[in-house]
Amino acid sequence: MLRSILTPLCAAAALVVGLAGPARAADYPSQPVKLVTAFGAGSASDIVARLIGERLQAALGQVVIVENRPGASGQVAADLVARAQPDGYTIMLATNTTHSSNPYLYKNLRYNPVKDFTPLVQVCNFPFVLVVSAKLPIQNVQDLLAYGRANPSSLNYAYGNSTGQISAASFDKMTGLGAAAIPYKSTPQAMTDIIGGRATFMFVDLASAAAQIQAGSLKALAVSTEKRSALAPNLPSVSEALGQPGFDLAAWVGIFGPAKLPEPIAKRLADELYRIVSSNEIKQKLTQMGAEPTPAPASAFGPFVAQQEKVWGDKVKQAGIQPE
């Protein structure tokens, strides 16, 4: 008799549970969505997140809050999102720092960049530029080399993310300068010390540095891509300036949710985000800020992320950086 009573009750409970998931997905979103960024206010990631967040808010009919969580080369933000409830209310604008480089820069990473996330959309690439303070008597890459060799004890480079770190370490190794590395919590802080002369040089994304370059407080010497960038056609590439091929570094940007995001919610977010980043308006704004639009749907972004982890692992090893 007990079995005869429990069986229909269990069946009813299973039906309720089965209906709850799709019902919640159908109601999504019913509360504000948090878009987490791994770097500070004023960084390229922050600018892109706010640009997309504004459009995503209109598309979802719900508030989208951009939350800056800088620290430990993006580990703070990535760990937060990896451990968040997979309900679509916490997503992340991430970069190759968090999802390609960190597994090779740190011995103990608390998150897995592939297994702990749901890829939603690829957004853009950021070419990096080699910059120095306008106060220094440096006009080009060769001047920087001469300055470094004349001032070896005070020569150093700043970085606020892994692309800046790997680019500078690769440049330092290629030129044999022997500069000291100075890490910063985020790119704007590193740029401040470059401008003030407390650090000698850095590689920074063009989007973050453009205003300071135009204002004359930073001097751009070269781009980090193999060839000249259409975004800064007057600047030589590092390879061109050194007369040595093989220097080719640029950052990628994309948006993820936590792993196990319910398929209806993941699809809603992925579809809305891809529509946003594929629009002419967003592509034009990204280009104007110094980014190269590379919109790709979740189906293509996932394999790209897995492939990029190996690519950046090779770059870290080639730069001679030892994991911390």
Q: Which residue among 195, 214, 242 closes a domain?
A: 242
Q: How far apart are CA 56 and CA 49, in angstroms?
A: 10
pLDDT of residue 14: 45
Look at residues 161, 191, 138, 174 and name the one whose alpha carbon lies nearest to residue 75.
161
Q: Does some domain include residue 218?
A: yes
Q: Are residues 160 and 215 in the same domain?
A: yes
Q: Does some domain include residue 73?
A: yes
Look at residues 48, 14, 221 and name the one whose alpha carbon lies nearest to residue 136.
221
Strands 33-37 and 64-68: parallel
Q: Does some domain include residue 202?
A: yes
Tell whether the model's pLDDT for residue 2 goes beyond 80: no
Q: Are residues 121 and 140 in the same domain?
A: no
pLDDT category of residue 146 using cuts at 50, 70 and 90: very high
pTM for the complete prediction? Answer: 0.82
Q: Are residues 219 and 131 in the same domain?
A: yes
Q: Does some domain include residue 221?
A: yes
pLDDT of residue 250: 86
Tell whether the model's pLDDT for residue 154 goes beyond 50: yes
Instruction: Round the average pLDDT of the chain to a whole number and report it.
Output: 91
Tell whether the model's pLDDT for residue 17 goes beyond 70: no
Tell whether the model's pLDDT for residue 4 goes beyond 70: no
User: Stretch 129-148: mean pLDDT, rounded?
Assistant: 96
Q: Are residues 118 and 258 in the same domain?
A: yes
How remote is the C-alpha of 24 from its chain's centroid? Answer: 31
pLDDT of residue 230: 86
Q: Are residues 132 and 226 in the same domain?
A: yes
Q: Are residues 202 and 306 in the same domain?
A: no
Q: How far apart are CA 293 and CA 119, in angstroms?
A: 17
**Angle (nearest 5°) at CA 255 between 124 and 223:** 30
DSSP string for 23-56: HHHHH--SS-EEEEESS-TTSHHHHHHHHHHHHH
Q: Are residues 214 and 167 in the same domain?
A: yes
Q: Are residues 204 and 227 in the same domain?
A: yes
Number of domains in the chain: 2
What's the count of helices (H) and strands (E) in the chain, helices before strands? Answer: 13, 10
Q: Which residue among 206, 225, 242 closes a domain?
A: 242
Q: Does some domain include residue 161?
A: yes
- Give residue-wise pLDDT tens across range 240-255: 999 998 888 889 999 9
Tell whether the model's pLDDT for residue 18 goes beyond 90: no
Q: Is 320 helix (H, G, I), strand (E, B) or coil?
A: coil
Q: Are residues 138 and 218 in the same domain?
A: yes
What are the CA-CA distances from residue 289 to residues 34, 98, 209, 232 (Å)? 24, 22, 10, 12
pLDDT of residue 15: 45
Within 10 Å of residue 261's Cβ, how many Cβ atoms?
24
pLDDT of residue 304: 94
Percentage of the chain exceeding pLDDT 90: 76
CATH number at residue 147: 3.40.190.10
Question: Which residue(s) pair with 92 in the sheet?
Answer: 36, 256
Domain with 238, as residue range(s), is 127-242
